[in-house]
Amino acid sequence: MTIVVGYSPSGQGRAALRAALRYAARTQEGLAIASHQYHDAEQGVTAASEAAVRAELEELGILCGDVTVHSSPERDIGEFLLSLVEEVDASLVVIGLRRKPPIGKMNLGASARRVVLGAPCPVLAVKDDPLVPTNPPAGRS
């Protein structure tokens, strides 16, 4: 089985990646990283390359064993994740959530809601922890 994780180089993406790595280590499952599109101030709409994702994994002290990186020109993150879940027959989906102000706490976000309601497997939603450094020391996750 495979765990699918939504990733972009953000606090939410890194939190989701760390959670998926912990779960994969416990269950000995492979990891399919969905490097989705995001808006970068300098490059515009882009997605992290496979090399950038593997560099992030190395910074976390993870040897890139059974890890595949997928990207798509699809702008709809939810649809991209759900199609990857179907493609790899995922056992779990891990997504990162953005912290919301008190008034927006009940609003999950369109893409996250689509994944939670549409995934045929369990979904683990993690929130960004502002106290965790964006690049933790190697060997810690």
pLDDT tens per residue, range 24-75: 889 999 999 998 877 677 777 777 888 888 888 888 777 656 788 898 877 7
Q: Band of the pLDDT at 11, cuts 50, 70, 90?
A: confident
Q: Which two tokens stand for residue 26?
A: 């416990």
Q: Is 139 domain-assigned?
A: no
DSSP 3-state of 124: strand
The pLDDT score that the predictor gives to residue 98 is 78
Q: Is 140 domain-assigned?
A: no
What is the number of domains present in the chain? Answer: 1
Q: Is 53 domain-assigned?
A: yes
Question: CA of 140: how far to CAs of 3, 24, 127, 129, 132, in Å?
Answer: 20, 15, 18, 15, 11
- The length of the chain in residues reads 141
Four-residue CA torsion sign, 23, 130, 33, 94:
positive
20-24, 106-110, 129-133: least confidently modelled range: 129-133
Residues 63-111 have pLDDT tens digits of: 656 788 898 877 788 999 999 999 999 999 999 987 766 555 556 678 8
pTM above 0.85, yes or no: no
Task: Say if residues 90 and 54 touch (Cβ distance below 8 Å).
Answer: no
Q: Is 135 domain-assigned?
A: no
Task: Say if residues 32 and 2 touch (Cβ distance below 8 Å).
Answer: yes
DSSP 3-state of 22: helix
CATH for 25? 3.40.50.620
Q: Is 132 domain-assigned?
A: no
Task: Tell me the C-alpha distance between 57 and 67, whole Å.
Answer: 10
Q: Band of the pLDDT at 3, cuts 50, 70, 90?
A: very high
Task: Tell me the C-alpha distance between 119 and 90, whole Å.
Answer: 9
Q: Is 134 domain-assigned?
A: no
Question: What is the residue range of 83's domain?
Answer: 2-127
